[in-house]
Structure 1
Amino acid sequence: MNLPSSGLPTSAVVPREQTQAILDRRGAAAGQIKPADHYTLADRLEQQAARFAERPFLIYGKQSLSYAEVDARANQIAHTFYAKGLRAGDVCAMVMENRPAFFCTWFGLVKLGVVVAFINTQVNGRPLLHALETTGAKALVIGEECLGNVLATEGLPTLAYWLVGDEENPWAGDLPGFIDRQFASRLDSAPRSAFPRDIRAAVEAQATTLLIFTSGTTGLPKAARYSHMRWMSSGDVMEVTLAATCDDVFYCCLPLYHGAAATSVTSTALRAGASIVVRRKFSVSEFWRDVVRHNISVFQYIGEICRYLLNRPEQPGERDHNLRCMLGAGLTPESWQRWIERFGPVQVFEGWGATEANTALINVDNYVGSCGRVPDWERTNLRLIRFDVENDCHPRDENGFYQVCEVGELGEAMAFIVNHPEIGGGRFEGYTSADATESKIRRNVLHAGDAWWSSGDLLRQDADGYCYFVDRIGDTYRWKSENVSTQEVADALGDLPGLELINIYGVQVPGHEGRAGMAAVLMQAGQVFDPAALYALSEARLPRYAAPLFVRVSAAADLTSTFKLRKVDLQRQGYCPAACHDPLYIRDEQSGTYQPYSQALLQRLELAPFVVADHG
């Protein structure tokens, strides 16, 4: 660990050879499983259940489920779903909050070789219908706590709908006729004995096991494919990175329908034989109590969670814990430094990547502010490719090829797509949609005939090979740990009475990670903006994280020569009254409307004034 005697992280550069040695160990771990191996997530679960049978696997409140118990419950799920007609290669969607039943249901499905599609627990209506359609789901498993969203959705397709009970959130109303009323009793009486492996014997490691939704730059979220090989390799790699053992306790407080919790946390804990403390939802007040109560040693974060914890008033004994390391993304240098100073010398593995990415960066040096280091660019499939933000394009050289960034230059992270039958690393597994998959591939980038995954993220590197995330390209921004598509928000709010045009974009909020949503609205001639109506529409059609936090009522549309909505200047002006000269409003959940901009309202909502960048 790169910590001085004070226990604080350092910005001293470690030798490149030291960093590369760790990356080489990660690379070796990543290559253990071959694409054609007949080895799946279910096989790993059963191996580890035999090896660590009585060790605690899942801890939830006062419950503790051993590896053997989780495997037995997964067997019950597998027997039940097989009897209901699911077979290897079928897709079963699943909407459920964080709790032991999530893991047992998921693992039971993979014992059949079924592909599991995780559905965001916050969506209903069109986004839910889209999720079921784009995954080609044959069935939907509904956690009882999520039944309301499903029943609020009109036009549900003809699928099998199976309900998994939730003692903490029982459904008070009548169950509709399309939900199988016998499912729960069949599940309870199903055998706990091992489910026959020959049912999935033909499934290869390169086959898809998960579908995880990730937002693109336009439209509704896309379902990214995640193979058994990549899921298990993630655990293999992170086991050596974190030096994880069966004595570690992982904290799972991020939603399992997201990539991080369901992939990195679960695969690493399973690989190491470690325990996972599962919390249904993140709680600022309970975080450190959980860490101490359960002797948690590893925590997967997002920057926003760290900010919440840092903004909480200091409590006695905050450094009296055994948290040794944390991994994640979005931790600002300022928050990083404050975290270590306040909570003690915890090693931070800040990284960069994406659910569908065929590459990744990780900071193994505890070097403050960096999302990873590349000591030798010839030993990675990643490159930073020059990008012209103002003109939204990649400059070309005299031969028509893209250009690799020099030190300090802004560039899009791209990764060469490896396509070899015996190599799993570097593959781009894509999405359920062939068009969506192709849209993320750039061809003839550095050489004729090559193919690269396009991340849409802008990064910079320094002279020592440390990389820093800068921003997203295009129309997707990240807020409250969620990717938000501007097109989706605009579509949801597009029929506001009297509206002529609406332009959605993300703006930086000092002290917050990511960007908050802002809407520039142009009303029709003679029509007046109704802030309460916009609030009501956003509440009815959008998750709260996607609802615009700020609104400006524009006097005229800002269009390009090709009639595309211009956003660069709007983003620069943000919600600064002196810069935008339009009426400004701020979303206020307390009053249930958008209130006129005021310093007092900003302070009450704990939002800092917008800082206009100097582009002179």
Structure 2
Amino acid sequence: MSSAKEKVLMGLGGAAGAGILAWRTMFPWIGYDLEMMKAGKRASDEMAVDFKNRRFAIDMFEEQASKYPEDTMLIFENRIYTYKFMNSQACKVANIAMAWGLPQGSTVAIFFENEPAFIWTFLGLLKLGLGVAFINTNTRSKPLLHSIRVSDAKTLIVGSGDELHRAIHEIMHDLDIPAYLSGLASEDTGSKYHSWDYLMLRSPENDICSSIRNTLTLLSPCIYIYTSGTTGLPKPAIVNIAKGIGFTKFCLFSGMKKGDIIYTTTPLYHSAAVLALFCVMNTGATMLLRRRFSATHYWSDCREHGVTIAQYIGELCRYLLALPKDPLDGVHDIRNMIGNGLRKDIWIDFQKRFKVPKIIEFFGATEGTSAMVNVNGRVGACGRISPLLNKLSPSKVLIVRYNPETEQPYRNKEGFCEECKIGEAGILISSIPVIYAQGFYKGGKEVNEKKTLRNVLQKGDAYFNYGDLLYKDSDHFVYFQDRVGDTFRWKGENVSTNEVANMLTGLDFIQDANVYGVHIPGKDGRAGMAGILLKDGVQFSEEMLQKIYQHCKQNLPSYARPLFLRFVKEMSLTVTYKQRKVEAVKEGFDPAKVTDPLYSLSVKENTYVPLTLETLPQVLQSKL
């Protein structure tokens, strides 16, 4: 190379180096963006190819079954299920459903607990291009009937187990579609039920030609996953084929590949487990599935089966941390854990005790139009909204100011929303790509419009409203604060239930705290109340009340300190380990409704004092 060319190239290299250095000086967070881009490149590249080639999730599964038939797809209750076996069972399901003559895009509802049959039944229906409604196995009576009807299901398939059968029997006289029950030995039942086992035993294993799916589009239905129904009847969130392809890439942020074993303990009808299943289908990896979460068996399961990636959700990690310490803590092959809901107050303790190399926390919603992932390991963060990545993303994400009185985004004089400043909590929203043309939920325009925020930054734009309060730090990492409605207003100030709960669990005798606002007659706003769960083996003492009082006084402003305490025997949780608050809010601090020990804050005595029917009038008349 001539010296002249060398000088030019060296000059260009020096300029580029100086340019990068200048960018890093001006924008110190740019390195986090580069790490995210590196983590997401494989996922985005694969998704682009799959969209172009119409390679759906079911195609990915069939490819794995064809290329690696003897590889393990599923481990369940110490039994191994190969890709070949899962495909043969799925083919049986497809041949049964073929005889029903349902048009593509029709819905079939399935009502199964965690078991291999859930997966192969689902896969068999996907082979025909049918949409599958995943009915929550905890729903009963009216919500159960509603869940089936709102999906427009033409047929219902029920898994094994007396509990599920009893649940269907309760609504059978109102059910106007055929119901096929697993576990019935004979087709001649003398009732409206049909034996699913009878059909499976006699169904051929012939595969269905993939050309049958040629008429499907990226907007065709794949799954309907239901909301929890805590604020009304469950709503089926639409997961179309395009979104399903996106699901298959999610665990790639954890570096998931063939040979990995991912551990899932959440219900298969929940989106967290669906993410794991779809990523297994894409990579040819293995899923270790448990019927129900068990804290005592969790780590031994991981060791026994060589788990390399583990999922978590909600308060699962808190239950693991509450286990007695064991010399085998940290003895496993896990290289990372991926999930959402790991609270900041236990993050470091959990990661250190169990020697988890990396935790990947994410934020999203089944019906949401975007998702965030914290691949950088920033403690407590659930993702990032950087200016650069937001420009590159097909779905723009914003945090906008919030009006706690209306529980809606704040509007300025021009009627538009305003983005929050660094450290300011607001409502998370994201723009709506074309794949959501049919809405977020099945159920018509009205139910979808409730989650749509219009005229946000300019007239005519539209965003999805998550209904969650989050905030950013100076590096653009995002932190969950509360659900809208969980944050309450007292003495003119906003109180975050999540922040108060994190503070309370800093006391060494408190296992968990459920914080919420309760209405006091004649008072504006809502006062703070905390349900306290003591650690196993810890006996209650009055000294604890004084410690809680002093801890709150030192760490919380006066308006945020809980006015009432309720000591619970166990924490009421959803099936995904999220705290239940609706019932607790309704019961409030009324000793006539609450059987748990109640206490109210006493500034005069510098502690919390017993709250009974006799002392309640005095408390209500005091200056709270």
Moved more, 84-93 or 245-254: 84-93
Does residue 595 (structure 1) correspond to residue 605 (structure 2)? The answer is: no
Partner of 2:298: 287
Query: In the alignment, residue 193 of structure 2 is paired with which amino acid?
Result: I
Structure 1 residues 37 and 21: alpha-carbon distance in aligned structure 2, compared to 1, 3 A threshold:
closer
Query: In the alignment, residue 180 of structure 1 is paired with which amino acid?
Result: H
Shift in Å, 1:395: 2.3
Matches within 5 A, 1:362-381: 362-375=373-386, 376=388, 377-380=390-393, 381=396
CA deviation string 1:269-328 (max 9, x = no partner): 111110001110011111111101100011110131111000000122122110111111
Structure 1 residues 437 and 23: alpha-carbon distance in aligned structure 2, compared to 1, 3 A threshold:
farther
Does residue 51 (structure 1) correspond to residue 67 (structure 2)? The answer is: yes
Query: In the alignment, residue 194 of structure 2 is paired with which amino acid?
Result: D
Query: In the alignment, residue 249 of structure 1 is paired with which amino acid?
Result: I
Shift in Å, 1:585: 8.6
**SS at the partner of 2:192?**
coil
Moved more, 461-470 or 581-590: 581-590
Does residue 209 (structure 1) correspond to residue 166 (structure 2)? The answer is: no
Q: In the alignment, is the contact (CA less than 8 A) between 1:303 and 1:513 conserved in 2?
A: no
CA deviation string 1:474-507 (max 9, x = no partner): 3799xxxxxxxxxxxxxxxxxxxxxxxxxxx989
Q: In the alignment, is the contact (CA less than 8 A) between 2:96 and 2:203 conserved in 1?
A: yes
**SS at the partner of 2:403?**
coil
**SS at the partner of 2:233?**
coil
Query: In the alignment, residue 203 of structure 2 is paired with which amino acid?
Result: A
Matches within 5 A, 1:485-504: none
- In structure 2, C-alpha distance between the alignment counterparts of 1:299 and 1:153, rounded to whole Å: 37
Structure 1 residues 438 and 312: alpha-carbon distance in aligned structure 2, compared to 1, 3 A threshold:
same
Structure 1 residues 50 and 100: alpha-carbon distance in aligned structure 2, compared to 1, 3 A threshold:
same
Partner of 1:456: 467
Larger radius of gyration: 2
**SS at the partner of 1:180?**
strand
**SS at the partner of 1:358?**
coil
Partner of 1:384: 399
Partner of 2:554: none
Q: In the alignment, is the contact (CA less than 8 A) between 1:88 and 1:199 conserved in 2?
A: no
Partner of 1:136: 152
Partner of 1:433: 443
- In structure 2, C-alpha distance between the alignment counterparts of 1:236 and 1:62, rounded to whole Å: 27
Give the counterpart of 1:149 among 151, 164, 167. Answer: 167
Partner of 1:397: 412
- In structure 1, C-alpha distance between the alignment counterparts of 2:465 and 2:190, rounded to whole Å: 44
Percent identity over the alignment is: 28
Moved more, 295-304 or 150-159: 150-159
Partner of 1:165: 183
Does residue 250 (structure 1) correspond to residue 262 (structure 2)? The answer is: yes
Shift in Å, 1:398: 3.4
**SS at the partner of 1:44?**
helix
Q: In the alignment, is the contact (CA less than 8 A) between 1:351 and 1:372 conserved in 2?
A: yes
Shift in Å, 1:77: 0.6
Q: In the alignment, is the contact (CA less than 8 A) between 2:337 and 2:356 conserved in 1?
A: no
Shift in Å, 1:350: 0.3
Does residue 234 (structure 1) correspond to residue 213 (structure 2)? The answer is: no
Partner of 1:260: 272
- In structure 2, C-alpha distance between the alignment counterparts of 1:609 and 1:382, rounded to whole Å: 46
- In structure 2, C-alpha distance between the alignment counterparts of 1:406 and 1:307, rounded to whole Å: 31
CA deviation string 1:329-353 (max 9, x = no partner): 1111232101121111431110111
Give the counterpart of 2:50 among 33, 50, 63. Answer: 33
Does residue 15 (structure 1) correspond to residue 11 (structure 2)? The answer is: no
For CA contacts below 8 A with separation 6 or more, give which structure has more relative contact order: 1
Aligned length: 507
TM-score (norm 1): 0.75
- In structure 2, C-alpha distance between the alignment counterparts of 1:584 and 1:334, rounded to whole Å: 21
Larger helix proportion, structure 1 or 2?
2
Q: In the alignment, is the contact (CA less than 8 A) between 1:38 and 1:202 conserved in 2?
A: no
Aligned-residue Cα RMSD (Å) equals 3.5
Runs (5+) with no aligned partner, structure 1: 1-11, 478-504, 521-551, 559-565, 600-607, 611-615
Shift in Å, 1:201: 2.5
Matches within 5 A, 1:32-181: 32-34=49-51, 38-145=54-161, 146-153=164-171, 155-165=173-183, 177-181=191-195
TM-score (norm 2): 0.74
CA deviation string 1:72-96 (max 9, x = no partner): 1100011012223444221111111
CA deviation string 1:440-482 (max 9, x = no partner): 11111001111111110111001101000011113799xxxxx
**SS at the partner of 2:214?**
coil
Q: In the alignment, is the contact (CA less than 8 A) between 1:234 and 1:268 conserved in 2?
A: yes
- In structure 2, C-alpha distance between the alignment counterparts of 1:455 and 1:120, rounded to whole Å: 22
CA deviation string 1:98-126 (max 9, x = no partner): 11111010001111111100111111101
Does residue 406 (structure 1) correspond to residue 424 (structure 2)? The answer is: no
Moved more, 327-336 or 306-315: 327-336
- In structure 1, C-alpha distance between the alignment counterparts of 2:172 and 2:283, rounded to whole Å: 44
Q: In the alignment, is the contact (CA less than 8 A) between 1:135 and 1:432 conserved in 2?
A: yes
Runs (5+) with no aligned partner, structure 2: 1-27, 489-495, 533-544, 550-560, 573-592, 600-607, 611-623
**SS at the partner of 2:359?**
strand
**SS at the partner of 1:138?**
strand
**SS at the partner of 1:184?**
helix
- In structure 2, C-alpha distance between the alignment counterparts of 1:22 and 1:32, rounded to whole Å: 18
Does residue 277 (structure 1) correspond to residue 292 (structure 2)? The answer is: no
